[in-house]
Amino acid sequence: MGRNPCLQTQEIFFLSYLLGMLKLGFMASGGGSNFQAILNRIADGSLQGVSPEFLISNNSKCGAVEKAQAAGVAVRHVSSVTHPGPGLAEQEILRIIQDSQIDLLVLAGYMKKIPDAVIALLPDRIINIHPALLPSFGGPGHWGHHVHEAVVAAGARVSGATVHFVDGDYDHGKIIAQRAIPLSSEDTPDQVAAKVLVQEHDLYWRVVKAFAEGRVQIRAGRVICDVV
């Protein structure tokens, strides 16, 4: 039985919790270490009640694709190469999501802007992880190593990871959870990146677990999330 499109986001998550299975879709473009960290927690039993349905990637040669194939997760390559022509890649992404009837779309280093039609299809059901404490060091140009270079250049003494909902602007959606770490004045961008990545790997799967256990709510525009 498919999802009722009239259901509100929180009702969908609660229904998935009652049914005992949260269907996940993933999107990635790079190495996929956050994707792998989630798969590892599923494999070791720490993250239960979830089902990875697919990985969409615009880069068929990336590490995330290899990780998905090794784990038996269906891979869908969608790019201007596979779907040349205006709007064709977007239409294919929509088709995959609709056919899979996922509950939550998890971005794990996907380097393309999410189409507005996808956001409209999954309101407050797309999440992303950013390697800094939003709203600082976010937005256009703040991705990957550029984030950590900006943190060091600003002389920040704290950084971390942020999991947030995805809306129509880069790194702008409602914050779900954050993990902060202290920095030294001697830290290089590479050292900051390594410290933050440890936190990303531990935080992201815990947020997915909170969704699976019905512990994420939105009240008056704010996210209430008990991440443990």
What amino acid positions are annotated as catalytic residues?
130
Unique residue bearing structure tokens 């270490």: 33
Q: How far apart are the first and last CA of the chain?
A: 32
**What is the pairing mode between strands 50-57 and 75-77?**
parallel
Provide the total of helices (H) and of strands (E) in the chain, helices listed first: 7, 9
Closest among 134, 160, 130, 133 to 143, alpha carbons compared = 130
* 196 three-state secondary structure: helix
Phi and psi, residue 154, nearest 5° = -80, -10
DSSP, res 221:
T
Residue among 14, 208, 189 nearest 108 (CA) = 208
For 70, half-sphere exposure in the C-beta direction (CA atoms, 13 angstrom radius) is: 12
